[in-house]
Structure formats: C-alpha cells, structure tokens
Chains A and B, each alone.
Chain A
Amino acid sequence: MTILAIERLSIAFGGVRAVDNVSVSIDEGLVFSIIGPNGAGKTTLFNLISGLYVPQDGRVRMRGEDVTGLPPEQLARRGLSRTFQNLQIFFRMTALENVMVGCHRHETVGIFPSLLHLPAVGRQNARTRAAAAGALDRVDLSAAADKPAGNLSFGDLKRLEIARALATEPKVLLLDEPAAGCNAVETGELAGIVRGIADDGITVVLVEHDMRLVMRISDRIHVLANGRTLAEGTAAQVRADPAVIEAYLGVHGSQEAARAVG
C-alpha cells in the first residue's frame, strides 16, 4: 500500500529548478532511498515533503490525504518526522531531554498544571522519560542519556536525531544523510538500526551518499539528477541503469576527476 505519494512536485529558487516535476510513490514498510549527485535536489525534496518549503507545483499525499503545504508540526501529528543533514540538535539539553521533546505530541498536560507542578506533570514526565529512554535504546545511545547533547560525538548526534524522530512515533521517517561523517563501524551499526526501524513497520525514506549502505539496505531506490527523476528500481536495477552510471561516473564523474587532476 502506498503511504507517501509525491505527484509532479516542483520548486524553483531564483530561476534554478531545484526540484522539477518529480513523482515518487513509496510503499509502506520499505526502506526507500533517494540518491543522486550533489545538487540533484534531494534535500530540497525532503524539505518539500516535510513542510519546510511549500512547493510551487504538485502534490504530496500521505495515505491518500493531500498534505501539500501543511506546516511541519501538523505533518508530525500525521506521522511524518525527519532528521537533518547538518544537525539540528538542542545543544542546551541532555540527550534524553532531546528525545523527550520528540514525545511532545503525545504529551497531554497543559500549561497550568505545569506551572503548579501538579502530580499529573510528574506522571507525564515519567511516561515521557520512559518512552524517550526506549527510543534512545533503539539507537544504542542509552549510555549517553544524561550527558549534555553538546558533549556527544558527531556519530552519536546523528543517532540522537534518529531517536528523537522515532520518539514522535512516525509512520514515515525521513533520514537526511545519516551516515555522512560516520566511520565504517558507525555506518555498519547504522545499517542495522535503519533496517530494524523498517522491520518495525516504519517506512524509512533515506537520502544518502554512502552507496554501499544504500545498496545494502534499500528495498527501492529513486535516482535524481539536476532536480529531475533519472531512474527508479531495486538496487540491482539502478546499478545496471546506463543513465545512472553516466550521471554518476560518465559526465559528472569525469568532470570531477578532470578538475581534481587539472
């Protein structure tokens, strides 16, 4: 069943068509990767889907419901969350508190009980803390729970963002380059974590440059180049697609290589 459908989505910045007429249909429970050379429009596409940008043309549907142009907080309530390529951590809070913010949409106590610290607040905090601890556990960060987020390593922060997004209990999780800056060991762990999330029934949409990771864990891959769709298929299909090879190695790659040498 299609959980997230993107129909002919377009946005331009000052004449540059960053995302141009892109359509993607994503089935529930998959790890769906979006790849492409730098500047292909992957992160822009994420920003469109997650409500940070409003598309100039096209529709976004979640389980058939038109959610185009809805703000991120309302999309979160409908079960869509994401992580960021260049981290957006709450640096003044501990790791656990970061994840507790992710539980926000399930918290029910209002402002007046909070001000008076009525018993309901204590109970809510305990529930939230337990849920957040569970989310931290899923990304193997339990040991860091009470550390200030500012003291965590880069790789840990990447996973902290995943835990935070998981705490919203999403149906669809957008991961923007989770392996960027991670070493081989961390990337290996990440593969397991992402696969585990998908096995729990959460649809994962992944933007990633680490091809080994992408090929290993993706159920389906969508290739973008210059804001347009280039190809879509399974890992094997995409790898064999001549257009994809050219986009990566042919024109683009040879130019890069020439520049590097020249």
Chain B
Amino acid sequence: MAEFVQFLFSGLTVGAVYALVALGFTLIYNASDVINFAQGEFVMLGGMTTVFLGLAGIPLPLAALLAVIFAMAVGLALHRFAIETARGANAVSLIMITIGASIFLRGAAQVFFDKQFHTLPAFFGSEPIRFVGAAILPQSLVVLAGAVVIVVLLWTFIDRTLLGKAVIATAVNRLAARLVGIDTRRIVGFSFAISAAIGAVAGILITPITLTNYDVGTLLALKGFAAAMLGGMGIAAGAVIGGLVLGLLEAFAAGYLSSQYKDAVAFLVILTVLFVMPQGLLGRAKVERV
C-alpha cells in the first residue's frame, strides 16, 4: 500500500508536468495547427532563468516572475519572427521550424547559462510528509496544486472572457473567426505567449524535484507531445488526462517492473492505445467527407 501511494504521487507529479506541456501543445495547435516542438524549451527557460536570476541576487519569487515573463517574450518572438514569416508553409516545414527554434534555444542556454545541472530550493522545505507509510515531498503537492490552479485559471479564462471565446472561435474555424472580426493573428501570438507561460511555470515548479539544465526540454517536449496525442490532439481535457496517464504509467512501470524500461512501457501503452483508438483517448473518429 505504502509503495503504491508512493508511486501514485511520483507519477502524478511528473504527470502534472507532462500535462502542462501537453496543454501548451494543445493551445498552440488549436490556434494555428502548428505542433510546437520548442514547447519543452519553455519549461527549460522557466527553470534555468529563475536559477540564474536567483544566483544574480534577485529574490526567488521575483526571479520566477521575471522568468515567466521572459519565456512569454520568447514565445511571442518565436511566433512573430518564425511562425508568422512562414505563414502558409506546410505542416512538416512548420514542425521543422519549431525544431530549429528548439535547437537554437538549447544552444543559447548553453552559451548564456551553462551546461551544469541546477536546482531551486523547495518552496516549503524538503521534509517529507508521511502519508499511509509513503514519504511525499511537499514540493510534489506544490506541483500538483500549481497544475490544478493553471488548469482552473485557463478554463475560467476560456469560458468566461471575451478573449477566451475568441480563442475558442479561432480554434473551431479560423476563417469564420476572421469574418466576425477576430484578429486571429493576435490570437495565435497570444496562444504562444500563454503556452510559454504555462511551460515556464511548470519548469519552475518541478526544478526543486528533478533539477534542470539546458537539455531538459527535449525529453519533455517528446513526452508532452506523446501525452497530447494519447489524449487526442487538440482536446485540452485530453492533454491533461494524457499527461497524467503517461506520468502514472512511467512511475508504476519503474516501480513494479523495471526502471530501465519505464519509458518503453509508457510508449508501448501509447502505441497500443493508438492502434485501438487511432484518434486518442478522447478524440472522436472523423467521418471523411468527399
């Protein structure tokens, strides 16, 4: 039982981060059909920028805030200078552009930060909390709470504000959105900024547990993408569920089967799900219109 709870919490913690990355993928994909493989770099930028601003003597809460703002600026720049300029390019070219951006950002992080691993102090100490025999890091709860807050905020924003409705309208039908006067270009830029912010927050929250360095984004982008596809591309709830499922799969596979093959188990499950449900867990089969 203790073991199970332990794995459950570590799975949910990692899963929450995957879910946030997947959510970032989904936001950008819905607004623009772009699969943004630089999504993982936002997570890296969040963690690394906070670390280095902190080292420069800036109080950590302020450093974290600045890091999020910085990531948003990078997101906007990526949209403005790369995605906007390449408007009309096909899907594979756009993916290559975001991969190029991710190589660029990783290279820049190597140069302007460094190649070492860094950590941040846990927000509420690192004394584990005992819970039915399992030891749970307070930071795990912070990550989970943070993820819940982000999802609730995002949902409220989309559901309650005019700008949020414009985001939905752009996702459903870009041309129709333009026809009713929505500046879809700004909506896409906005989605990049929000995605970047979500990624950066995830990076800051998880750094005290998993550490960070210039290279953490690659694997996170990959897992986040897989999570988004597992849930069903373009479905926000699917991204969250996909992320959590992926995190839990890894944790339980590592705990009960083999830590070396945890990624293998996760991807085997994803492949199996896709073979049975080619549109992901929450995706609905599209009727091909001819």
Contacts and interface: CB of A to CB of B under 8 A. Distances in A.
Interface of A: 13, 43, 47, 52-53, 84-86, 88
Interface of B is mostly: loop
Contacts of B287: 13, 53
A13 B288 CA distance: 12
Contacts of A43: 290
10 contacts: A13-B287, A43-B290, A47-B290, A52-B288, A52-B290, A53-B287, A84-B290, A85-B290, A86-B290, A88-B290
A85 B288 CA distance: 14
Interface residues of B, number: 3
- Report the 6 A-B pairs with minimum CB-CB distance, sorted nearest first: A84-B290, A52-B290, A13-B287, A88-B290, A47-B290, A52-B288
Nearest to A87: B290
A222 to B, nearest CB: 21
A88 B290 CA distance: 8
Nearest to A53: B287
A13 B287 CA distance: 9
A209 to B, nearest CB: 17
Contacts of A53: 287
A88 B289 CA distance: 11
A68 B189 CA distance: 49
Counting chain B CB atoms within 10 Å of each CB, the highest count among A47, A84, A88 belongs to A47
Contacts of A88: 290
A28 B76 CA distance: 64
A84 B290 CA distance: 7
A43 B290 CA distance: 8
A45 to B, nearest CB: 13
A47 B287 CA distance: 11
Nearest to A176: B290
Interface in B260-290: 287-288, 290
